[in-house]
Amino acid sequence: MASPQFLEFIDKHAPQFIQRLGEAVAIPSVSGDGTRRPDVFRMSAWLDGQLKNLGVTTKLVDLGKHVMDGQELPLPPAILGRIGDDPKKKTVLVYGHYDVQPANKSDGWDTEPFKLVVDEKTGRLIGRGSTDDKGPILGWLNVLEAHKALGIELPVNMRFCFEGMEENGSEGLDDLIKSEVAKGKDGWFDGVDCVCISDNYWLNSRTPCITYGLRGLVYFKLTVSGPARDLHSGVFGRMVHEPMTDLIQLMSKLVAPDGTILVPGVDDMVSAADDEERKIYEKLDYSVKDVEDAVGAPITLSDDKVTVIMGRMRQPSLSLHGIEGAFYGAGAKTVIPASVSGKFSIRIVPPQTPEKIEPLVVKYVEQEFAKLNSKNKLKIENLHDGRPWLADYKHWNYEAARRATEAIYKQSPDLTREGGSIPVTLTFAESLGVNVLLLPMGRGDDGAHSTNEKLDRSNFIEGSKLLGTYLYEVAAAKA
């Protein structure tokens, strides 16, 4: 259990912590916008300076260059840090990212996205990156500052890995982690006992959670092409094979209205949940109404809570995302597109892997295309993929997080699997061979990636206490 002095310090210094979050939000570190790349570097320098001031030994690692939108750009550095080398203590590795999603006021923001606005009525801290992921990173800084100011030794050794490309593919990070692990005792991750990542959210706005699983992803692009150029439907309609007609037929064969994946063998890979696992979902403080409120309409695939939750957390899903090359503007344009591309993805769960899924999709789509007897040409591409991750939630790392959550929030956390993907989670788990934990700070209604992204003041302050208390519970846990 963390000391009362630590908890009091966090409460007392909340205004300063919020001010520091404001400084971080003010740096528009958008990794997906080449014009903002200098700002991402500025953010790395700011964060590096903060860590150094709090006693952390750091290293900015050059990850090289990459090409984005036809322009060669330097990759933002990874920040590696360490504080504490006591062989009697456990060592915790913390990961986070200092880059953010794009944001413009014209997108529909009520306030300037890169100016932290403190809404005194609601307690919301509004600004891009407030919850994803600058708030959680600063939560760790708050923990470090409290211990330094109070002259209290940290209960564990800490290692840090912060990157600036998470929102744009995490380029270079996997190779860095593997190379550091390969260095053994000379690497920054030597002796790490567990990993903690705070880059996800509660299921709702009521109940804290700890997360032990993430779905993977395989993202496909189907391109059907035929004529050498766009055609006039009044001249060529019903004279030629139309690419759009073929593509719509193919897209309609991928997933049923009830969510069933129609690609043979995909759903069959996943076994049914046993009674112990079903009880986890039954206990979750999450309802069909929560889903309906989140999407703004009563459109869930089932009225059964467990079925709906498992659809997100432990079943694969196939979603159709869009069609490239088709007419979509206002008015009525009678065009036959020469080439169209349909984009869809499959969220995958263990034991599925991209290597198992891709051949099934390619074979099925090619078979369905052959049935059309079309003279058009089909091209199937895997744009990117990532494997799913699942951790042992009975591990002492999770027990420490559970006890810390109960100490701060006075309630047991929900035990969740996320429907999304954080690829670096699996890289840490496999490269280091240690347990990885997701311990969220923010709420389910924070609006990460959306307009008016926010982090509640209470979650920022209580979340900082949670991260610090977690370190004490890790120290006390029997490994």
CA 190, CA 219: separation in Å to the nearest integer? 35
Q: Hey, what are 374's tokens?
A: 């079309």
| Catalytic residue, candidates 99, 132, 246, 414 | 99
Cα 46–chain centre separation:
23
CA 458, CA 460: separation in Å to the nearest integer? 5
**Three-state SS letters, the chain:** CCCHHHHHHHHHCHHHHHHHHHHHHCCCCECCCHHHHHHHHHHHHHHHHHHHHCCCEEEEECCCEEEECCEEEECCCEEEEEECCCCCCCEEEEEEECCECCCCHHHCCCCCCCCCEEECCCCEEECCCCCCCHHHHHHHHHHHHHHHHHCCCCCCEEEEEEECCHHHCCCCHHHHHHHHHHCHHHCCCCCCCEEEECCCECCCCCCCEEEEEECEEEEEEEEEECCCCCEEHHHHCCCCCCHHHHHHHHHHCCECCCCCECCCCCHHHCCCCCHHHHHHHHHCCCCHHHHHHHHCCCCCCCCCHHHHHHHHHCCCEEEEEEEECCCCCCCCCCEECCEEEEEEEEEECCCCCHHHHHHHHHHHHHHHHHHCCCCCEEEEEEEEEECCEECCCCCHHHHHHHHHHHHHHCCCCEEEEECCCCHHHHHHHHHHCCEEEECCCECCCCCCCCCCCEEEHHHHHHHHHHHHHHHHHHHHCCC
| Catalytic residue, candidates 48, 133, 163, 166 | 166
Q: Which of 396, 437, 388, 389 is nearest to 197 (CA)?
A: 437
Q: Is 456 a catalytic residue?
A: no
CA 12, CA 292: separation in Å to the nearest integer? 39
**In sequence order, what are the residues at sequence separation of 6 or more whose Cβ sits closer than 8 angstroms to the Cβ of residue 240?**
226, 227, 231, 336
Q: Which of 407, 417, 428 is nearest to 196 (CA)?
A: 428
Q: Is 99 a catalytic residue?
A: yes
User: Before 351, cis peptide (omega within 30)?
Assistant: yes
Q: Hey, what are 190's tokens?
A: 């030597």
Catalytic residues: 99, 166
